Amino acid sequence: MDQELQEIYDKLQKMDLDELIGEVNKTKTKFLVVCGGVASGIGKGITISSIASLLQRAGSRVSLIKIDPYLNQDAGTMSPFEHGECYVLNDGGEVDLDLGNYERFLEVNFTKDHNITSGKVYDDVLRGERAGNYLGKTVQFIPHVTNKIKERILRVSQIPIDGTLLPPEICLIEIGGTVGDQESIFFYETIRQLKNDVKDVLVILIAYVPKIKDEYKTKPSQNAIRNMNQLGLNPNIVVLRSQQEIDEHSLRKVAAYSNLQESEVINIPDKKILFEVPYVIAKAMLIQTIQSRFNLPIKLSDLYVYKCFCRHLQIIEELPKIQICIVGKYITFKDAYLSIIKAFEVAGFALTVSLKLCWVESIQLEDDFVKDEETKLQAEKAWEIIKSSKGIFIPGGYGNRGFRGKIKAAQYARENKIPCFGVCFGFQAMVIEYAINVLGIADAYSEEHEDKFPSKNHIIKLLPDTSLDILGGTMRLGTKKTIISDKSSLAYKMYQKSEIFERHRHRYEFNKDYLEQYEKTGFKFSGVDETGIRYSVFEFQNHPFYFGTQFHPEFNNKYTKPCPTYCAFLASAAGKLEDNLKKNNGLFKISLLDAFPDEKKNIANNIV
């Protein structure tokens, strides 16, 4: 955070609730609150991201806040099986994966304060009570908890995020879960109060319309609208989600029930291509409806980028598939790898490569996995996928389970010259595999697994400034500098910079005591931090592509700014890497010009 932005941030932190209300009314920031009805997982995150992006492309400065009603302070200690990916921000915030959607769509960087949880709010209130801030009053949900929620919303709504140092004109707020959830009730009450404190607050309800016996049923959506009304929040706009397009009669029925104009009830059916969603919203004139409600000038959104994405993705879909195998621990819940999936999708778009992601559970590759005929078949299928893939990707993770399977996958890729890319836990597995099978360190392992696999050679060791007693927020988190000094390295050829900034999330690191043994055999650590002792990039020179990063490059992926690492890995798997390097004087260059027609090459050049 630069100095001017830090000064704004510090000023906001010192304001009390009344001052924040005054500041928001002074800047005339408008609030667009998005709630869910009927069911969770119906695409609120994509919908709100699309609306925000369209408002941005119509010339408005926008920001987003995600409210999660759970009692965890953040997503850092939550199981990927239960909550999906833990997304990491520049400032080290461990947040809900929806903020990843926000960042990819808007191409801005949020702060940890943009994710409000019940855990954070209650912690604020209880700390205030212990400090005597409530002057002996009985601390209650109303007004103390709701006031604290308002403080957080209003404060965050004024944080500039687009580089202008100006507060957002429109702040969109997504409330997690569905209307009627007990844990959300005080957030809805806060929004009701907020409508009395600031001038412009609109409420959008996104509700799911199920199809039963070839007929769409709107009654669940009507019930969700009634629940909103009972909370004192009459929806200003209703978005109906469905599998296919809903008939006009059903839309009119919901509009009549909601006391809304027909233009204020729209339908977003499922779309094969993500970027069709903004098109549907734009076609329904929803942005103009919002602008009119907020008394803003009516402006059309620039749909050029979405148009190019949709057209180019349709072209790519017809090409032969390049199969990439992802060897992970949490593959039964793909949201655990959402940013990775998006990074590959953007890489495929940039390279004009049609991608097929196949998944292997790493534990199925371990020697002792086979116990009976069923597990034998599972193991055989896993190895079939590995052997039929053009590239092997080993993602992050934690814990003993499946780690040896990741090592097996790395060994197969190295020995068979298959492009292999490891991130975080994958980086560590590839490093350990090399120590065991090439350097001859038979008991090489990670200090993380010392309880189950004792070793005298911890190739991966605990970071000295982390904690095993308190797990939440104690890892190496957020954006850190990595120095790439060797301009002949693959890392430099990909980034074309001597200093790069990527996001980290790890508690363990490579043990530099073993550095010399690796580098003698062509296994080079090409990226190191400013201290010269923390190595975050390796590359094996006697291989088409055997590369690892301790950081997570996928967290910096934007839809028009692909990750160099993912692109280079996919280029190698598709047989395009060497040609790219030769064509660009030894550097790996990514261009989106194929996706953007000649008449707007300047836009495409600015995007790249």
Q: How far apart are CA 244 and CA 527, in angstroms?
A: 49
The helix/strand/coil state of 306 is helix
Q: Quickly count: other Cβ atoms within 10 Å of residue 135's Cβ.
A: 5
In this structure, is the dihedral angle defined by the CA atoms of residues 111, 114, 119 and 122, taken in order, positive or negative? Answer: positive
* Strand bridging mode 535-540 / 523-528: antiparallel
Q: Which two tokens stand for residue 532?
A: 């010269």
DSSP conformation letters of 22-75 = HHHHHHT-EEEEEEEES-S-SSHHHHHHHHHHHHHHTT--EEEEEEE-SSSSSS
Residues identified as active-site: 424, 552, 554
Distances, alpha carbon 403 to alpha carbons 58, 398, 412, 457, in Å:
48, 8, 15, 17
Distances, alpha carbon 14 to alpha carbons 31, 113, 116, 120, in Å:
22, 15, 18, 18
Burial of 218 (0-12, 13-18, 19+ CB in 10 A): buried
Distances, alpha carbon 500 to alpha carbons 104, 400, 493, in Å:
19, 31, 12
CB 447 within 8 A of CB 461: yes
Distances, alpha carbon 320 to alpha carbons 276, 312, 315, 352, 357, in Å:
23, 15, 11, 11, 13
Q: How far apart are CA 186 and CA 142, in angstroms?
A: 8
Residue type, 441: I
**Phi, psi for residue 241 in degrees, rounded to 5:** -95, 140
Q: How far apart are CA 317 and CA 355, in angstroms?
A: 9
Instruction: Say how far residue 503 (Cα) sits from the centre of its chain.
Output: 12
Taking the C-alpha atoms of 580, 585, 586 and 592 in order, what is their torsion angle to the nearest 10 degrees? Answer: -40
CB 199 within 8 A of CB 224: no
CB 34 within 8 A of CB 173: yes
Residue among 261, 219, 217 at smallest CA distance from 238: 261
CB 352 within 8 A of CB 316: yes
Q: How far apart are CA 96 and CA 88, in angstroms?
A: 9
